[in-house]
Amino acid sequence: MGVRTANRITSANILDYIENSPEIDLLEYKIIHKDLTGKTLLELALRKRFGVSVIATRRGEDLIVSPSAQEKFLEGDVIFIIGRTENSFAFKEALEK
């Protein structure tokens, strides 16, 4: 619970953080970062760069489960990311620079 609260306080674009186990995290991330907007999952290579996987995208009222590599992120999209704890933090910290 303390980790969830800390993540909400320290990052405005992290909407929720769920610690599933000591090793695996699931987080909801709102796309506001210019480096993500308009790019596809393939272009971003999040799994290769950070070791995290996008398992779903919420765009308005629509939920895109298992988005394809060609799916482009739009500003305001919410992506659901799963990964090892250290990888989730690496992703979050890279976008806050």
Total count of domains within the chain: 1
Q: Which domain holds residue 48?
A: 2-95
pLDDT digits (tens, 9 = 90+) for 51-79: 999 999 999 999 999 999 999 999 999 99
Residue 22 has pLDDT above 80, yes or no: no
| pLDDT higher at 10 or 30 | 30
Confidence check: pLDDT of 10 > 60? no
Q: Is the pLDDT of residue 1 over 80?
A: no
User: Among candidates 30, 28, 18, 22, which has minimal Cα distance to 81?
Assistant: 28
CA 82 to CA 23: how far, in whole Å?
Answer: 11
The CATH number of residue 74's host domain is 3.30.70.1450
pTM for the full model? 0.75
